[in-house]
Amino acid sequence: MIYSLIATLLKYGIEKDLIKEEDRVFFQNKLIEFLRLDDYKEAEPLDYSLEQLMDAFDDYAVEQGWIGNTVTERDLFDTRLISLLVDRPSNIIKEFYARYEKDRKSATDYFYHNVSIDSNYVRKYRCDRDLKWVTPTKYGDIDITINLSKPEKDPKEIEKAKNMPKGAYPVCLLCKENEGYSGRINWPARGNIRIIPLQLGGEDFYMQYSPYSYYNEHCILLNKVHKPMIIETLTVRKLLDFVDFLPHYFIGSNADLPIVGGSILAHEHFQGGSYTFAMEKAKSIYDFEVKGVKASIINWPLSVIRLTGDDKEKLLVAFEHVFNTWLKYSDPEVGILAYSGETRHNTITPIARKKNGHYELDLALRNNRTDEAHPLGIFHPHDEYHHIKKENIGLIEVMGLAVLPRRLKEEMEELKAALLAKEDLSTHPALVKHIDWVNKDILAKYTLTKDNIDEVVNKEIGITFMHVLEDAGVFKTTPEGIEHFKKFTKTL
């Protein structure tokens, strides 16, 4: 069996152009060495998908007693295995830029499909399991996803990782030193990741793809230097440089403050890709100018100013004026205070793209203040929506894509079965937190049947996420809120 697995992996590597036919024997011997074999017998390849092939190799390693039968140890093993077939970084960089000179989309197609997916760094078969649907709202069609691609660790794995000594290398998951790193129990294997060097704002950056691919060609731009996230004019220059470099991609940055920022604030990074979010389609509801640059308030649950223009330098001047004004702007009538003592609360989540050759810069105004009623954040998902979404609203959510927790899949399946059976939800411990929502937004509005229940539950999850985004808006989309938003624009 093991010889057939080796033959299958070699066949896969040649078909995907990870290796050449002329290199078959060389890589065959690398696999024999890795699998601790003393000989090799020619065997017929198996008709396996990549997922089936990796699972079979993992099963073999478990049988041999090399690894435990956990998601973490299996992923570490099969990543180290397939990494033997992945070309060295210099050759991939050379190929990327050779393609880039002819056609930029060809370069990203190669890097995403032929490098990141075919090397199994982006485990597409896992990403394809994510639950996805679209919910129409008054702001446009919002994307809803329940993330199933990121594997969940069992309690024993978590305990084992917790007891491992913390290493200082790599410094974080976004450092360039992850390229080729074999991983450990408390650190994912990165032997098959490759990164492309480029310059943004005169600084060295690298581009890679997200292994979880929340949307099409979900890429990450990471600074060569491990330094904290910061929003400033240079940050936006970097974003605009990127859309010059790859005009068919958008790019955005998480905010630089807790609560309204991303999960990794210690290393400057951006996220981009080839995807049209609902936010991009949002229309203007109020037009004005900032430093001679066209500006508008767009119809979106968060408070977003859109700047549009052809001149990068003028756009940067306009951004700097909006940003500096917002940093010190307070409007107590709507709960906006720029500072509590010396603690700053205001910042911006910026997103850049190019449309028909013009720059478009969306600036989501953020505030991370808390109070007694909202200890997790005033402009953060409120308690009544925590049963669906409690986590921070970061860049991806700001643009209109919900990344909802894995638990919802099981909970919603249990909920639908209980509702159809007319059971008392209070007898289901996992569903108690959903009872108020079910009574108010489902049972009071719909007559449920087995034919409509999936559609109804998905729709109401989407509407709930819309309200979560509204909570994150500093100026609400009510007539009063819009007037306060306009009052801010008049200070510009």
pLDDT in tens, 112-133: 999 999 999 999 999 999 999 9
Predicted confidence band of residue 263 (pLDDT cuts 50, 70, 90): confident
Judge whether residue 155 has pLDDT over 90: no
152 pLDDT band, cuts 50/70/90, is low
Q: What is the pLDDT, as a whole number, of residue 227?
A: 95
Tokens of 484: 């306060």
pLDDT above 90 covers what percent of the chain? 93
Q: From CA 283, how far away is CA 53, in angstroms rounded?
A: 48
Q: Does residue 158 have a pLDDT over 70? A: no
Mean pLDDT for the stretch of residues 150-175 = 70
User: pLDDT per residue over 17-40, tens digit each?
Assistant: 999 999 999 999 999 999 999 999
Per residue, what are the HEC states of 61-126? HHHCCCCCCCHHHHHHHHHHHHHCCCCCHHHHHHHHHHHHHHCHHHHHHHHHHHHHHCCCCCCHHH
SS (H, E, C) 275-295: CCCHHHHCCEEEEEEECCEEE
User: Comparing 330 with 212, which gets the higher pLDDT?
Assistant: 330
Tell me the average pLDDT across 151-157. Answer: 58
Q: What is the pLDDT of residue 166?
A: 67
pLDDT at site 92 = 98
Q: How far apart are CA 415 and CA 419, in angstroms?
A: 6
Asked if residue 156 has pLDDT above 70, the reply is no
Q: What average pLDDT does the chain have? A: 95
What predicted TM-score, i.e. pTM, was given to this entire model? 0.94
Q: What is the mean pLDDT of residues 138-153?
A: 86
- Residue 168 binned pLDDT confidence (cut-offs 50, 70, 90): confident
